Amino acid sequence: MYVRDIVNNKNKVLEVDGSNQLSVKDTVAQTSLSNIDSSCANISADQATATNQATANGSLATLATASSSQATAANQATANASLSSIASNSANISADQATATLQSAANTSLNNIDTALAGVIQVSSAAPSRSSGSLASAASKTAGDLSASVDGNSHRKCAIFGTCSNNSGSVKVHISHDNVNYYEDNQNQYYANYSNGHIAGHFDINARYFKIEFMDSETYTLEYAMCD
């Protein structure tokens, strides 16, 4: 195979060596190839290892500086200040306010209560109001007769007691709220004691007025007593 030598304007034979590589005898060509080989070596070794590595190292150094100095200095200082403030406020809440301000308010309230309760509690020892009267005095009664009405408005309890000439006689309470219409209170009927004819019983004054019905035709002596 021939190639054209453009410098000398001649055709030259293109030869290969025993390794099937071009055999270049021209010194200029050899120099050019050497430069190309050197450049390729620099690209794969020098530039990747030196220039590019230096740039990468610079970038990594910048990141390290940013994450180290800023986090450790400015940001850490801010964080430390915040933590210190939280700790101080927590201490104030648990110690100063609870022990001082709130305790002072509690002491004032307790003192006011103590003052209000001081002294002697007055207790009334007056005797209860009482009222009494006669419903029959050795009076001969016919079965079904009623006594005069009694106004129990100022009292809460009433007792009736007396005697009946017949030891089997009894009396019954009638009640009214208007002193006009009366109703038998069948739960409050009292019988004479068989041995002596005594009659006694008591009831609550829930309706204002009451009367007593004499259940047997006998002689009765009967009184009432009320209290508040």
Q: Model's pTM, two decimal places?
A: 0.47
Q: What is the pLDDT of residue 14?
A: 61
Q: What is the pLDDT of residue 222?
A: 97
Cβ–Cβ < 8 Å for 105, 98:
no
Of 10, 41, 61, the domain-final residue: 61
**Cβ 137 vs Cβ 163: under 8 Å:** no
Do residue 54 and residue 137 come from a single domain? no
Residue 81 lies in a domain: no
Instruction: Assess whether pLDDT exceeds 60 at residue 96.
Output: no
Give the range of the structural domain holding residue 179, as residue numbers without chain letter: 130-227
Q: Number of folded domains in the chain?
A: 2
* pLDDT, averaged across the chain: 79
Percent of the chain with pLDDT over 90: 41
Residue 43: its H or E element: none
Q: Tell me the pLDDT tens digit for each residue of 156-197.
A: 999 999 999 988 899 999 999 999 999 999 999 999 998 999
Q: Using H for helix, E for strand and C for coil, what is the string for 51-106? A: HHHHHHHHHHHHHHHHHHHHHHHHHHHHHHHHHHHHHHHHHHHHHHHHHHHHHHHH
pLDDT tens readout for residues 114-157: 777 777 666 667 788 999 999 999 999 999 999 999 999 999 99
Most confident option among 4-8, 63-67, 112-116: 112-116
Q: What is the pLDDT of residue 173?
A: 98
Give pLDDT, residue 32: 60
| CATH (domain of 137) | 2.60.120.1050
Most confident segment among 18-32, 33-47, 56-70, 120-134: 120-134
Residues 50 and 139 in one domain: no
